[in-house]
Amino acid sequence: MYIAHTIADLRQHMAQFKHPAFVPTMGNLHAGHLALIKQAKPLGDVTVSSIFVNRLQFAPHEDFDSYPRTFNEDCEKLEAAGCNVLFAPTEKDLYPEPQTFKISPPAEVADILEGHFRPGFFVGVSTVVMKLFTCMFSEAEGKRTALFGKKDYQQLMVIQRMVQQFALPIDIVGGETQRADDGLALSSRNGYLSKEERAEAVQLSKALRELAQNYRADANNLAALETKAMQSLANRGWQPDYLTVRRRADLQPPHAGFSSGGQSSDPLVVLGAAKLGKTRLIDNLEF
């Protein structure tokens, strides 16, 4: 696996390939990341990943400094999964001067849910992804593909819309959420959990499944169902930010009354974010 630390080195190496398939990460890799690498293999003539902990998407009170950095182990995992090229810039490499030009996604998709509880998060995400795309694909002559996990559902939507609006010649592919045997969505932040918290963490996915089931049975009382779902987690010691049912197309509340039982005819997703101890977990389920 070739490792490039500078933009110039990356571009020089990538000039020999025409159809890169790219998986950006912040490192501390788990099976979900590696599943994206394997999904990328047949989609291009070279499989590329990046490791960069992006300061722009962390609020001052969040865990940028303590975010796990496991570079050597990550390299071994990527190579074993079939990654051909790794871009691993330092902050000075990627941001040689303050990044004052930034991508600002529209409020209707970026200031709800995660964006409401993490103001500026999607500005940071969009800006670094755009910059990584310009670094990664500048030498490509043919099909360009980038893969993102569906666990970060809203992030995937923001990136898809950014690529569409800027007419970037990049196919954005979503990878299914990878889960532990008990149903917990794999996440780099799961490593923060104590043994007891890890056993409790599966309750988030269970609460989302229950909310989806309750919506199917009683769609006309969605607000009450969401409140009940949040309270059920709060009663177990969680600090929930949101548990909600939304349309997959735009993450807005579902239309009611379009099908039997008052349920929306739109494809839906149930999303949740809640803090367990000091660790904030997110998850979602399409239904």
C-alpha radius of gyration, the chain, whole number:
20
135 neighbors 99 (Cβ within 8 angstroms): no
149 vs 258, more confident: 149
- pLDDT tens digit sequence for 182-224: 999 999 999 999 999 999 999 999 999 999 999 999 999 999 9
Domain boundaries, the chain: 2-175, 188-286
Cβ of 81: how many Cβ atoms within 10 Å?
21
Supply the pLDDT for residue 60: 92
**pTM, two decimal places:** 0.94
Q: Tokens for 67, please give them.
A: 């975010």
User: What is the C-alpha separation between 6 and 76, in angstroms, rounded?
Assistant: 20
Q: What's the pLDDT band for 256 if we cut at 50, 70, 90?
A: low
Q: Over 70: is that where the pLDDT of 258 sits?
A: no
pLDDT digits (tens, 9 = 90+) for 127-169: 999 999 999 998 888 899 999 999 999 999 999 999 999 999 9
Task: Identify the pLDDT of residue 257.
Answer: 52
- The confidence score (pLDDT) of residue 233 equals 98
Least confident window among 3-7, 79-83, 136-140, 175-179: 136-140
19 catalytic residue (yes or no): no
Q: What is the pLDDT of residue 255?
A: 84
pLDDT band at 261 (very low <50, low <70, confident <90, very high): low
% of the chain exceeding 70 in pLDDT? 97
Contact yes or no for 149/174 (Cβ under 8 A): yes
Is the model's pLDDT at 263 over the cut of 80?
no
pLDDT band at 16 (very low <50, low <70, confident <90, very high): very high
Order of strands, edge to edge, in the sheet holding 20-25?
Answer: 2-4, 85-87, 46-51, 20-25, 145-149, 171-175
Average pLDDT over residues 70-97: 98
pLDDT attached to residue 136:
96
Distances (CA, A) of 73 to 67, 68, 69: 15, 12, 9
In the CATH scheme, what architecture does the domain 188-286 have?
2-Layer Sandwich (3.30)
pLDDT beyond 70 at 74: yes
State mean pLDDT over 43-60.
Answer: 97
Q: Cβ–Cβ contacts within 10 Å for residue 240, how many?
A: 20
Report the chain's mean pLDDT, rounded to a whole number.
Answer: 95
Q: Which one from 5, 13, 19, 33 is the annotated catalytic residue?
A: 33
| Amino acid at position 153, single letter | Y
- Into which CATH architecture does domain 2-175 fall? 3-Layer(aba) Sandwich (3.40)
Helices assigned H by DSSP within the chain: 7-14, 31-40, 71-81, 91-94, 107-110, 114-117, 121-137, 153-165, 195-201, 203-217, 222-234
* Rounded (5°) CA angle 174-270-224: 165
